[in-house]
């Protein structure tokens, strides 16, 4: 079974639930995620950021994901997360990814359309699908740092024009989520009315939610109990994600919750075993922590078990 695009996955889940898209940076993270998806018989998107490519190198991640496909027989989609320009998208298309995101959300509308269209033309010619973004999420990640005042929700009419003019295969929208470990300053809420309008104007078209970690308090607490100083709170409530999956959102991105689960496990292990210095000793439970978190997301949050 080769790597697949997200096209069939999205068709299958549309209106029922969303597929989990999990960020990967190394072998243990990949193994934890694919083991979880295998046990849940769930569709899976593994996504790689520019920072991950810089950290691990494209070829290592590519080969690890190919190994995961061969090892599990799962139909996995390998996706570039937040491609900032045409060049990085081209490099990932040429380098074997089956899906790329061109994140032109920082540009004015016309410029976002132009760069997205260019990526779509290149990617489609090689059988690769394209996610684009319209509207701006607040929050911090390696390549993107958007303050709350610079964030803006997706305009429904613009979304229609954008999709028609670019030919993109899916669209990330801004309806209140944000990247990182601190998402809501006041009440946690998503603009479901806006999502409903966008989905009604683009029937059957796959929408994407970024910044969808829930930042479960017990994981922040466990990190901090063993010496961490993580300022994290108030992620997206799990029931809101489940609801979004029934309203046209087909892909939900989760990274921060995996980072917290892995870090909590490593901190806990090293605190209990201060004499250990074999990385296998602390990475084994860390990989298990990733697996447990992903199983929880697939089964209890996204509701996409047995959707293969």
Tell me which of Zn ion, ligand 13P, ligand G3H, none is bound by residue 213, counting a contact when its beta carbon lies within the kind-specific cut-off of 5 to 8 angstroms. Answer: ligand 13P
CA dihedral 222, 227, 232, 236 (to 10 degrees): -20
Using DSSP, state whether 92 is helix, strand or coil. Answer: helix
Residue from 44, 45, 52, 76 in contact with ligand G3H (CB under 6 A):
52
User: Is residue 252 within 8 Å of 302, Cβ to Cβ?
Assistant: yes
User: Is residue 120 within 8 Å of 166, Cβ to Cβ?
Assistant: yes
User: Is residue 254 within 8 Å of 211, Cβ to Cβ?
Assistant: no
Give the pair of three-digit tokens for residue 89.
């998208």
Q: What are phi and psi for residue 275, nearest 5 degrees?
A: -90, -10
> Hey, which residues between 246 and 275 contact ligand 13P (CB under 6 A)?
253-257
Burial of 151 (0-12, 13-18, 19+ CB in 10 A): middle
Interface mask toward Zn ion for 255-284; x: CB under 5 A: ------------------------------
Interface stretch with ligand G3H, choices 110-118, 140-148, 242-250, 285-293 (CB under 6 A) = 140-148
Residue nearest to ligand G3H (CB): 142
**Residue 210 in contact with Zn ion, rule: CB under 5 A:** yes
> Hey, which residues between 16 and 35 contact ligand G3H (CB under 6 A)?
23
Tell me which of Zn ion, ligand G3H, ligand 13P, none is bound by residue 212, counting a contact when its beta carbon lies within the kind-specific cut-off of 5 to 8 angstroms. Answer: ligand 13P
**Residue 194 in contact with Zn ion, rule: CB under 5 A:** no
Burial of 279 (0-12, 13-18, 19+ CB in 10 A): exposed
> Hey, which residues between 75 and 134 contact ligand 13P (CB under 6 A)?
81-82
Whose structure tokens read 């929408």? 207
Give the pair of three-digit tokens for residue 24.
């990967």
CB of 271 to ligand 13P, least distance (A): 25
Radius of gyration of the chain (CA): 18
Interface mask toward ligand G3H for 220-259; x: CB under 6 A: -----------------------------------x----
Question: What residues line the site for ligand G3H (CB under 6 A)?
Answer: 23, 49, 51-52, 81-82, 141-143, 179, 255
Question: What residues line the site for ligand 13P (CB under 6 A)?
Answer: 23, 81-82, 179-180, 210-213, 253-257
């Amino acid at each position: 079974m080769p790597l697949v695009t997200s096209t069939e996955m999205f068709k299958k889940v549309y209106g029922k639930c969303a597929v989990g898209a999990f960020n990967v940076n190394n072998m243990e993270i990949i193994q934890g995620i694919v083991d979880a998806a295998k046990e849940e018989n769930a569709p899976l998107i593994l996504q790689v950021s520019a920072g991950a490519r810089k950290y691990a190198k494209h070829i290592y991640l590519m080969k690890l994901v190919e190994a995961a496909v061969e090892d599990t027989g799962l139909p996995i989609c390998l996706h570039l997360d937040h491609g900032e320009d045409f060049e990085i998208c081209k490099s990932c298309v040429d380098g074997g990814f089956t899906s790329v995101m061109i994140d032109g959300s920082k540009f004015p509308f016309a410029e976002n359309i132009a760069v997205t269209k260019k990526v779509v033309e290149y990617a489609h010619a090689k059988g690769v699908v394209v996610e684009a973004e319209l509207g701006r999420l607040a929050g911090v990640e390696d390549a993107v740092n958007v303050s709350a005042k610079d964030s803006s929700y997706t305009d429904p009419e613009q979304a229609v024009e954008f999709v028609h003019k670019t030919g993109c295969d899916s669209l990330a929208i801004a309806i209140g989520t944000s990247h990182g470990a601190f998402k809501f300053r006041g009440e946690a809420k998503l603009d479901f009315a806006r999502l409903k309008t966008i989905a009604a104007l683009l029937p059957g078209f796959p929408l994407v939610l970024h910044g969808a970690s829930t930042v479960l308090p017990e994981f922040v607490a466990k990190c901090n109990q063993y010496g961490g100083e993580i300022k994290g709170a108030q992620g997206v409530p799990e029931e809101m994600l489940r609801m979004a999956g029934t309203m046209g959102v087909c892909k939900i991105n989760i990274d921060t919750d995996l980072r917290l689960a892995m870090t909590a496990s490593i901190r806990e292990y090293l605190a209990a075993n201060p004499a250990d210095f074999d990385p296998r000793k602390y990475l084994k439970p860390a990989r298990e922590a990733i697996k447990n978190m992903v199983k929880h997301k697939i089964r209890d949050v996204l509701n996409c078990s047995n959707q293969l």
